[in-house]
Structure 1
Amino acid sequence: MADGIYPTLGRQAGLLREMNVIAQNIANANTTGYRAEGLVFSEFVVRADGTAPSISFAHANGRQTRFAQGALETTGGTFDLAIEGEGYFQIDIGGVPHLTRAGAFLAGPEGGVQTAEGHPLLDEGGAPIFVPPGTANVRIAPDGTLSADGQPLARVGVVTPLDPGAMQRHAGTAFRADEVEPVESPRILQGALEASNVDPVLEIARMVAVQNAYEMGQGFMDREHERMQSLLRLMDQL
């Protein structure tokens, strides 16, 4: 029984985790700068005792982020920024720089440019960007240079991780990366935002496929349970 039930249980657990990942993607289909995730299945082989055949288990503990660029949407907002091409904005979360493609920034009460959650936007030197209160004309050039009333104040930092695969999602649209480097020729669009790169149609198709696979595994476990129950009843009659 274990040769069939235990591997199936491992597969069912992995399918449930994949369903949760798909649900999270669908829930963030309209989240600015969101990066879709996928689950990575791997094989784990357990050697059996004696001459019995080994048992292959399916593990689904790895996650893979999809870094394809989302659609760019014009908003006209002064501090709405989108990166065309490679690179990430840097924001300060609890004193630690994080990377994000979600450029829906706003002016804070003391002149700081920040996210809706209050995380400061950082310049190319890693310092928070400030705009003098009462400034009427704020312009951000494609290279990230921020000017207020015609006077350059700072340059928005755009960086890229040395190892994109090692980035860790902090929460929602923010990522941690241990090593980053500046993008030589960034292209920032003011008055625009990058949409989520989630494809809802693809995610729904994946959800249906995962649901079918789960039901197939559940059917196998039900039949195996009935078989063992029949075997036990037969043994009781002997």
Structure 2
Amino acid sequence: MTDAISVSLTRQSGLLQELSVIANNIANASTDGFRREAAVFAEFVRELPEQASASMGSLRGHYTDLSTGTMRKTGGALDLAIEGAGWFGVGRDGDVLLTRAGHFMLDNEGNLVTPMGDPVLDEGGAPVTLPPNTSEISVGPDGTITADGFGVAQIGVLSAEAEDLVRAGDNLWRTTGALRFEDTPRVRQGFLESSNVSPVEEMARLIETQRLYEAGAALQTDEHERIQALIEALGRN
């Protein structure tokens, strides 16, 4: 395998993974609270004696854009969004996970849960539970829940360091570091935070990445044909 093909294959592998990342972003453009990802490439350049330098690019990781999405008014009593920093706490298998998707509902026991059935946690880490037959639910900016005029719970709004966040699936995150409570949370009732994916920008990235991938494939084909022609020429001599 020649240096040209080796370099191209390394780049192609990274571009294929970037295409997967972009496709996932586009698929989640309408997912509430979703955070877009981007691929991070690195380039290694080595100087060769009496030759042009060799350059090799490869995928080195992924970057998550944690900027907030736009607020969309729904009017739903249990649709909640956080303005600024912070995450809703969600319990799953004994762990505290984080989400920005605030489309919640009540289960048969009156627990506030996500669409997947995971309990939403209060400021003490316990599931938020509302009294049975509650007719009017109000949520204050600090996350305090009032049921028929009586305060019953306060939704926990948590913070974590960006570098400690890891995707946990189902639009949830876990942190490898410490969790802390937001001192001045800003919760909005009747709103949902949209995904921060821009479909137009992602489509532009998709087209650009596809063209780069096709260019690499063409380079490999040309190099293969060059080597084949050389071998055939040597065989005739």
Length-normalised TM-score, structure 1 = 0.93
Cα offset for 1:59? 2.4
**Which residue is equivalent to 2:162?**
164
**Which residue is equivalent to 1:128?**
127
Report 1:189-204 matches (<5 A).
189-204=188-203
**Unpaired segments of 5 or more residues in structure 1?**
none
User: Counterparts of 1:20 and 1:113 in 2: how far apart (Å)?
Assistant: 34
Structure 2 residue 77 is matched with structure 1 residue 99 = no
User: Counterparts of 2:107 and 2:153 in 1: how far apart (Å)?
Assistant: 16
**Which residue is equivalent to 1:155?**
154
Report 1:75-90 matches (<5 A).
75-90=74-89
User: Partner of 1:127: helix, strand, or coil?
Assistant: coil
**Which residue is equivalent to 1:117?**
116
Cα offset for 1:130? 0.3
Residues 12-60 of structure 1 deviation map (CA, whole Å, 9 limit, x = unaligned): 0111110111000000010111111111112357899x99998543221
**Which residue is equivalent to 2:16?**
16
User: Counterparts of 1:51 and 1:62 in 2: how far apart (Å)?
Assistant: 33
Report 1:60-79 matches (<5 A).
60-79=59-78
User: Counterparts of 1:66 and 1:207 in 2: how far apart (Å)?
Assistant: 17
**Which residue is equivalent to 2:6?**
6
Amino acid at match of 1:128: P
- Is this contact kept in 2: 1:72–1:82, CA < 8 A? yes
User: Counterparts of 2:54 and 2:181 in 1: how far apart (Å)?
Assistant: 48
Amino acid at match of 2:162: P
**Which residue is equivalent to 1:141?**
140
User: Counterparts of 2:7 and 2:89 in 1: how far apart (Å)?
Assistant: 43
- Is this contact kept in 2: 1:34–1:195, CA < 8 A? yes
User: Counterparts of 2:46 and 2:154 in 1: how far apart (Å)?
Assistant: 55
**Which residue is equivalent to 2:43?**
43
User: CA 1:94–1:53 in 2, change beyond 3 Å: closer, same or farther?
Assistant: farther
User: CA 1:18–1:123 in 2, change beyond 3 Å: closer, same or farther?
Assistant: same
Report 1:174-213 matches (<5 A).
174-178=172-176, 179-213=178-212
- Is this contact kept in 2: 1:34–1:172, CA < 8 A? no
The more displaced of 208-217 and 170-179 is 170-179
User: Counterparts of 1:63 and 1:172 in 2: how far apart (Å)?
Assistant: 18
Residues 67-102 of structure 1 deviation map (CA, whole Å, 9 limit, x = unaligned): 111110111111100001111101012211111100
Amino acid at match of 1:103: G
Residues 198-221 of structure 1 deviation map (CA, whole Å, 9 limit, x = unaligned): 000000000010011111111111
User: Partner of 2:146: helix, strand, or coil?
Assistant: strand
The more displaced of 37-46 and 97-106 is 37-46
**Which residue is equivalent to 2:228?**
229
User: Counterparts of 2:120 and 2:30 in 1: how far apart (Å)?
Assistant: 22
Amino acid at match of 2:192: L
User: Counterparts of 2:8 and 2:113 in 1: how far apart (Å)?
Assistant: 48
- Is this contact kept in 2: 1:82–1:192, CA < 8 A? yes
The more displaced of 10-19 and 174-183 is 174-183
User: Partner of 2:159: helix, strand, or coil?
Assistant: strand
User: Counterparts of 1:132 and 1:93 in 2: how far apart (Å)?
Assistant: 23
User: Partner of 1:57: helix, strand, or coil?
Assistant: strand
User: Counterparts of 1:153 and 1:51 in 2: how far apart (Å)?
Assistant: 77
